[in-house]
């Protein structure tokens, strides 16, 4: 299946995408992860993206579109993929549609994760991520055994710089203006599937599998 996970920052897209990818062996393609890695390695892309990411703004469309197209040319995506955090603007969605239709690889569904703003702020401010393997934790909801080390690989846990309260607020505003229009964009195409993203990680995962007919 060719899937998009859509929803506000911090709603739990990455957590669910990692679980589904692990179970079904479809690659999880997170533009946020790709960009953070480029920033960490100080590549030209990373240097360009950094200033946008730190303020919670979107990186210019063309940069992100090129990254995703290149990734979708890799053979591990031919049997299916999960796009997380892309597309984020109508321009990105149209570019993706054009690319996939030229390859005769249409989208199967767009999962739209819904949760209240209060829940999202709690999730983002308590998030910790592993610098080595990218595992995602929450200090209260999904606590690591040791607050500084990843349970899975022992890597260092850190708080993303864009999870500071002021940047979180800007990310939510940017989402409402630039990304939320994609809900009706995909609804009109008959691809949107709503997932209630409140409740435990396991409960949300069951909802994801139900929506995809995998339960
Ligand atoms: P990106 O990394 O994509 O961030 P985001 O969309 O803001 O999403 P998050 O990663 O913050 O949240 P998530 O929904 O994946 O939640 P998670 O599973 O981690 O983008 C970062 C930046 O990169 C952007 O601001 C932009 O600058 C740039 N960028 C990226 N893509 C771009 C694009 N296409 N175009 C332009 N710019 C782009 O969960 C959050 C927390 O909640 C965790 O602590 C988790 O443990 C916890 N949690 C998850 N599920 C549950 C649950 N059910 N119950 C309790 N806690 C839960």
C-beta of 191 in contact with ligand 1 (< 6 A): no
Q: Which residues of the chain have pLDDT under 70?
A: none
The enclosing H or E element of 22 equals helix 13-24
> Is 71 an annotated catalytic residue?
no
- Residue 128 is predicted with a pLDDT of 95
C-beta of 136 in contact with ligand 1 (< 6 A): yes
Rounded CA gap, 84 and 159, in Å? 20
- Residue 39 is predicted with a pLDDT of 95
C-beta of 20 in contact with ligand 1 (< 6 A): no
The pLDDT tens digits of the residues spanning 100-135 come to 999 999 999 999 999 999 999 999 999 999 999 999
Distance from Cα 177 to the centre of ligand 1, integer Å: 17
C-beta of 206 in contact with ligand 1 (< 6 A): no
> Is 188 an annotated catalytic residue?
no
| Ligand 1 pocket: which of 10, 84, 89 to mutate (most atoms within 8 A of CB) | 10
Distance from Cα 74 to the centre of ligand 1, integer Å: 24
C-beta of 59 in contact with ligand 1 (< 6 A): yes
- Residue 102 is predicted with a pLDDT of 97
- Residue 27 is predicted with a pLDDT of 98
| Coil, strand or helix at 42 | coil
| Coil, strand or helix at 146 | strand
> Is 127 an annotated catalytic residue?
yes
**Tell me, what DSSP letter sits at residue 10?**
T
Q: Is 157 exposed, middle or buried (0-12, 13-18, 19+ CB in 10 A)?
A: buried
- Residue 165 is predicted with a pLDDT of 84
* Nearest one of 102, 81, 68 to 27, comparing CA atoms: 81
| Ligand 1 pocket: which of 5, 9, 134, 144 to mutate (most atoms within 8 A of CB) | 9
Residue owning tokens 């995408």: 17
**Catalytic residue selected from 36, 50, 88, 123:** 88
- Residue 164 is predicted with a pLDDT of 87
C-beta of 18 in contact with ligand 1 (< 6 A): no
């Amino acid at each position: 299946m060719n899937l998009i996970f859509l929803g506000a920052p911090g709603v739990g897209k990455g957590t669910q995408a990692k679980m589904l990818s692990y179970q079904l062996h479809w690659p999880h393609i997170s533009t946020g992860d790709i960009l953070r890695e480029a920033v960490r390695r100080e590549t030209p892309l990373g240097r360009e993206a950094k200033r946008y990411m730190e303020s919670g703004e979107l990186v210019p469309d063309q940069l992100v579109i090129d990254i995703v197209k290149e990734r979708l040319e890799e053979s591990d995506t031919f049997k299916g993929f999960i796009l997380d955090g892309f597309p984020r603007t109508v321009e990105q969605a149209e570019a993706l549609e054009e690319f996939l239709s030229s390859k005769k690889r249409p989208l199967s569904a767009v999962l739209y994760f819904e949760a209240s703003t209060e829940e999202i702020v709690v999730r983002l401010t308590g998030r910790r991520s592993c610098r080595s393997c990218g595992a995602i934790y929450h200090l209260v909801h999904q606590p690591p055994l040791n607050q500084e080390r990843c349970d899975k690989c022992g890597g260092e846990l850190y708080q993303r710089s864009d999870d500071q309260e002021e940047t979180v607020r800007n990310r939510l505003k940017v989402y409402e203006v630039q990304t939320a229009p994609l809900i009706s964009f995909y609804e009109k195409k008959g691809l949107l599937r709503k997932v209630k993203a409140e409740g435990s990680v396991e409960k949300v995962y069951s909802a994801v599998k139900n929506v995809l007919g995998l339960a």
